[in-house]
A and B are shown apart, each in its own frame.
Chain A
C-alpha cells in the first residue's frame, strides 16, 4: 500500500516505507510562522538544579514560561513491588531508600503501619518511641538543611550551600554513631528498633544541639534579610491555600499559605502529643515564606530533640513479644557489628528451642493478620502516608507510599506558568522534591 507521501519497497526484513514531503512542509512552515519566540525547552533529566533526575518540559515565550510540565519516572526502582517478595522485617531495608533524605520517616511510617496491622501499637516500648522521635527530628533538620543549601546554591549563593552541608555533616555523623550508617539505615524495625543507642550517643547529640543553636542564626544573618535573596524568593512560586488543598500540597508549602496543619499536632503518633513545640506558618504563599517556615521548623526540631534527650529512660527498645521481636542480639566484634558470640553460644549450645525460634523468625518471618491500615507521619516535605495490606502471610501483600514529594511536585505547573524561566528553579527548589521519593 502506498500513498503519495510514502513509497514502499520490499526487503528481507519486511516492507519498508519511506516517508517524504507531504504535509510536513506545511506543518513546519506554519510552526515557524506562528510565533517567533515560542520554544519548548527540555530541562533535565540531568540538570544540576532539578534535584536529581527530574525532567521539566517548559514552553517558553521569550523569558516567560507559558506552559510547564514534569516528566518523572527516571528513578523508579520498583520498591513497592519488591516489598511483596520479602518478609515484613526486611521491608525496612527497602523503604529507607525511597526518599533517601528522609529515611527515618519512611522507616517509621512503615513500621507504624505494620504495628497497627499486628495490633501492637501500644506495646512498643517508650524508649523506642522516644528514640524514633529523636531520629525523626534530627532527620527533619538534615532534610531542611539540604533543601536550604541546594536551594541557595541554585540562586548562586554558594556560602549558604557550604553552611548547610557543613551542618548536615554533623547530623550524618550522629546517624553513623547511632545506626552505623550515614544513609539507608534500616534502624527502625516493626516492634521497635534494631538496637539501643550506643554509649556516648546522648552526649554527642547534646553537643550537636549546642553547636546547632550557635549555627542556626547564621542562616538568618546570611539569607533572611538579604535583599538579593529576598528579591529572588519573594512572590515566586505562588500557591495559595485553595491551590494547596486542590492539589493536595502539604508540609511547608501548605504552612506557607497560612494553615498550621501538622500531623504531629492533629494526628499524633509516637507520643508527639506530649512534646512541647510550635507549628510555624507564613502567609506569603511564596518561596520566601517556605524558607522561613523551614528555618523555624529547624529551631522547633532542636527543641524536640532536647526534650527527647531529657526523657530517655533505660528500658527495652523492642516489643516483648518474642514471636515478633527480632531475635538477634547484636554486638560489636572484630569484624564489625554482628550477632553476639554469647548469644550464639547459648542458642547453639544450650537451647535448641531458641535456635529453632531464631531460625524460623529470620527465614520465615512473622505472620500479620489480614487487613489493611493507613498511617501518616509529618515528614519534612509533608504528609507521608503508607497504605499497608496484609493477606495473613509473612510478606506484605501490598505497600503503597503516598510520598509528599510526588504529590507536591504536581503543583509545579501552577507555581511556574506565567513566571520567568529563572523563577522555575526557585519554585522547584521551594517544593523540595526528592526524586527517590517521587519515583520510588
Chain B
C-alpha cells in the first residue's frame, strides 16, 4: 500500500493528494490556496494548498428510517414496468437527513410518474425545479433538482438529473406535474436547460430577446465600482473571493 501512496511534494494534482475526505462524491471544484489571492501575492504559506471539493457521495444500504422503504418501493415498481432500477437510478445519496435519487435523464418521466402514482409512494406535490450549474463537473455540468413531497405519507425526497453543457436537454415533467410549467421555464431562462416536451418553453423572467442565461456560472454578475468614504470599492464580482 505504501508503494501506491503518492508523494505530495512531487504530485500536485488534486486527486492524488493524501487526506481526502470522502473521495467518492462528485468533484465540483478544486480549491487552491486559502486567501483568494490570485496574482501570486500570497505570502501566507498556504498558496500551494490544493484541495478538491466533492459533494457527498452515494450511500450504501441501509439508508435509515423510511428511506429504505421508499427506495425498495421505487425499485420494485420500476422492475414491474420492465425497467432495471440500476439503469434508471444512477445513485442514491443520503446526506443531512435528506434522500436524493440521481436519475438518468431518459428515465425521468417514468420515475416521476411512478413516484406520483404508486400508492405506497404517492408523491403528489412537486415543488418545482431548481437548476444548478457545476462548471467543474465535466460532462454533467447542468443539474435539474426536483423536490417531491408526499402529503399522504408526510415525506420529502429529491430527484436530481444532470445534462452536459453541450447537450442541455432534460425531459419535461409538465405532463406529470403541471405545476412545473413555470418552474421549467424559469430554469430554462436562467440556465439554458431545454425541457423537451414542455408545452411552451419561453423565457419567463428575462425579456424575450435577452442573450445568454444569467444564472450560469460563466455569466458575469456585472456591476460598477463605487466610492465609499473616499475609497474605491470594486464591483461585487471583482472583490476577493475566499472560496
Contacts and interface: CB of A to CB of B under 8 A. Distances in A.
A171 interface: no
13 contacts: A73-B206, A81-B214, A86-B236, A246-B178, A247-B179, A248-B177, A364-B35, A370-B28, A385-B128, A400-B130, A400-B132, A407-B183, A409-B182
Which size bracket describes the interface of B in this complex? 35 or more
B31 A402 contact: no
Interface stretch (B40-48, B50-58, B73-81, B224-232): B50-58
B158 interface: yes
Interface of B: 25, 28-29, 31, 35, 53-56, 95-98, 100, 124-128, 130-133, 145, 147, 149, 151, 154, 156, 158, 177-183, 190, 203-207, 214-215, 221, 236-237, 239, 241-243
Interface string A348-389: 000000000000000011000011111010000001010101
Contacts of B95: 371-372
Given A85-B237, A245-B125, A370-B56, A402 B179 contact: no
Contacts of B97: 116
A259 B151 contact: yes
B13 to A, nearest CB: 19
A395 B241 contact: yes
Contacts of B96: 116-117, 119, 371, 373
B205 A245 contact: no
A101 B85 CA distance: 45
Contacts, number: 130
Nearest to A406: B182
B28 A391 contact: yes
A85 B236 contact: yes
A261 interface: yes
Contacts of B177: 246, 248
A383 B156 CA distance: 13
Contact of B154 (A250, A267, A389): A267
Given A248-B179, A370-B53, A389-B132, A81 B215 contact: yes
Contact of A80 (B147, B156, B215): B215
A312 interface: no
Given A370-B53, A407-B128, A410-B179, A393 B151 contact: no
Interface string A105-143: 000000000001101000000000000000000000000
A365 B207 CA distance: 35
Given A259-B151, A374-B156, A394-B242, 20 more contacts: A73-B203, A85-B236, A116-B97, A117-B96, A119-B96, A245-B124, A246-B177, A266-B154, A267-B156, A364-B35, A370-B53, A370-B55, A371-B96, A374-B158, A391-B28, A393-B243, A398-B130, A398-B133, A400-B145, A409-B182
A409 to B, nearest CB: 8
Contact of B98 (A249, A365, A374, A395): A374
A387 B182 CA distance: 17
Contacts of B237: 85
Nearest to B53: A392
Contacts of B145: 372, 387, 400
A225 B211 CA distance: 53
A365 B98 CA distance: 26
Contacts of B181: 410
Contact of A261 (B54, B151, B214): B151
A249 B127 CA distance: 9
A78 interface: yes
A392 B156 contact: no
